[in-house]
Chains A and B, each alone.
Chain A
Amino acid sequence: MNAENYLKLVQFYQDYAAAVDQEDWDAWLNMFTDDAKYKVQSRENYDRDLPMAVLNMYSKNMLKDRVYGMTETIFHEPYHQCHVVASPRVISASGGEIEAQANYSVFRTKTDGIAEVYNVGRYIDRIQVTDQGFKLASRLCVFDNEMVLNSMIYPI
């Protein structure tokens, strides 16, 4: 991958973080392919090859339903997220597809609170290069935390 494309990829990772942090769910949905997989999984399940995950979505339509759920149906304390995403590590790039990974830290700040380390882990991604730019065909968020701090409403 040449430097220019790598910079585009870095921008894509930062755009994702910005979309989630700013709760711009249309922009977030737009970063996935129609049959995208999106999963948030504990490292314990991942390392032991157990399929269970905190969130386990198999299509963009499921992600749309998730957005509806978290904005309209799930009662929860309002909170902000702040994602700090490291530079992506490219595993492979061939044809129209990139395999890349990046470490992330997510801080959560509740309405009356101060920021706390909420979720720390690694994105494991398959990204398609399309006419409309990069699209996630699969994003797996593997987190190191043994526990979710009570609940997880917004995507990582």
Chain B
Amino acid sequence: MNQENRIPMTPVWGHEDNSRIPYWAYTQEEVYKKELEKFFYEKHWCYVGLEAEIPEPGDFKRTAIGERSVIMVRGEEGEIYVVENRCAHRGMRFCREKHGKTKSFTCPYHQWNYTLEGELQGVPFRRGVKQDGQVRGGMPKDFKPSEHGLNKLRVAERGGVVFASFDHEIESLEDFLGPTILKYFDRMFNGRKLKILGYNKQRIPGNWKLMQENIKDPYHAGLLHTWFVTFGLWRADNRSELRMDDHFRHAAMVSTRGDGSKNADTTNISSFKESMKLHDPSFLDIEDEDWWGGPTAVMMTLFPNLVLQQNVNSVTTRHIQPTGIDSFDFVWTHFGFDDDTPEMTERRLRQANLFGPAGFVSADDGEVIEFSHEGIEQNDREQALAVLGGRTVEEADHMVSEACIRGMYDYWRKVMGV
């Protein structure tokens, strides 16, 4: 490789606006390290789980923020704590169960014991051993357990959804989301108790931002996904809106489904299958719910690590957990609401066949992300094009726009300083 073709040590954006995204943003190890620091470990509320996953005192769930393992746990008084899964002694990732119930946390290595809140409460042989009438060893006299607790995260909870931040200097969750996104958040989590239906997990070999982009990209949804197009669930001619917060870091794609009929627009869509009929129509046995207030689908991306899905009766959180620059785990938590009838629960479970790693309209999202990453790695001096609907960042009342992707990179550049 000659000198000019090298990627500069400090990558430059190289384009006047955000309608081009340089591929080094997905391939440079230093960029990824900095993203983890700036987005996952500083100044951002990251999703950790749902309150309903840990209903009782002592219930815990192990999860991740960025590449760091954390534990979400319910304390004796019902309050929620999030602590880092790293022993304060010599660093062991002590919690190995994915979930469970406990009175305290003990690191097996030297059996340091912590309260649910993360305070160090037990250190074996702290005062040494008595031998021949003498005390030998032990911790120094000035050792203060209070200074050696687990790393405690700040916690914010709203509507049953739990977020945490390593950074204690952080705006409120409400300010972080901003009023526009908060409105859609509260629509989905309006105070009703949630009922956990279970998990789907997939490991996707691609850069984590590609998933954020995928859910900020209404363009593909009405083209790639035959099911959406054919049954009118998500289509360019549906009534729809693209909404963002003031920083353009979060977004909501809002859509109201049409009748799925053939018209002038479907002739543009090769994936529209006029003759497609279901042998078992119960896949699409949809019942309108009051809380929708109109839209039949709202897909929210909360930066950096969460997607919130309502698509007809299927509701999920999707948790992005990067495992390197070219791979992330995508953890879906399907839920319903406590007042759901058994029929509604069945309906949500049946419609779940549309989503997740095998979903009629989601399996291919994982595939296209994998192959996008492959193409990007092929030559990271090139750049992606995002000019659909303009070159600036603006909300829209249609879905033929890549404005939310431009918006995300507008914010990304500010924080990354590029």
Contact = CB atoms under 8 A, between A and B. Distances in A.
> Which secondary structure dominates chain B's binding surface?
mixed
Interface in B168-210: 196-205
Given A48-B198, A52-B197, A151-B363, 7 more contacts: A42-B199, A50-B197, A52-B352, A57-B353, A69-B227, A150-B357, A150-B370
Interface string B360-371: 100110111011
Contacts of B201: 42, 146-148
A58 B197 contact: no
Contacts of B370: 77, 150
B363 A56 contact: no
A66 B197 CA distance: 22
A52 B334 contact: yes
Size class of the B contact interface (CB-based, 8 Å) = 35 or more
A74 B363 contact: yes
B358 A44 contact: no
Q: Which 3 A-B pairs have the closest CB atoms?
A: A52-B198, A50-B198, A61-B279
Interface in A117-156: 146-153
B349 interface: yes
Nearest to B367: A76
A72 B366 contact: no
Nearest to B353: A56
A153 B359 CA distance: 8
Interface string B332-363: 00100000000001000110110011101001
A135 to B, nearest CB: 18
Nearest to B278: A65
Interface residues of A, number: 36
B203 A74 contact: no
Given A61-B279, A74-B364, A54 B349 contact: no
Given A62-B280, A69-B360, A73-B227, A52 B200 contact: yes
Nearest to A155: B358
A58 B350 contact: yes
B197 A40 contact: no
Contacts of A50: 196-199
Interface string B202-221: 11110000000000000000
A68 B230 CA distance: 13
B280 A61 contact: yes
Contact of A75 (B278, B329, B367): B367
A153 B370 CA distance: 15
A65 B280 contact: yes
Contacts of A89: none
B135 interface: no
A78 to B, nearest CB: 11
Contact of A74 (B230, B278, B360): B360
Nearest to B230: A73
B16 to A, nearest CB: 34
A153 to B, nearest CB: 6
Given A57-B353, A147-B202, A152-B357, A76 B282 contact: no
A72 B274 CA distance: 13
A154 to B, nearest CB: 9
B276 to A, nearest CB: 7
A68 B334 contact: no
A51 interface: yes
Nearest to A52: B198
B283 interface: yes
B386 interface: no
B88 interface: no
A74 B201 CA distance: 19
B112 to A, nearest CB: 27
A88 B363 CA distance: 31
A87 B283 CA distance: 34
Nearest to A149: B203
A45 B198 contact: yes
Nearest to B271: A73
A102 interface: no
Contacts of B273: 72-73
11 contacts: A42-B200, A51-B197, A52-B334, A55-B353, A55-B358, A72-B273, A73-B360, A74-B360, A77-B367, A150-B203, A151-B358
A149 to B, nearest CB: 6
B279 A62 contact: yes
A148 B203 contact: yes
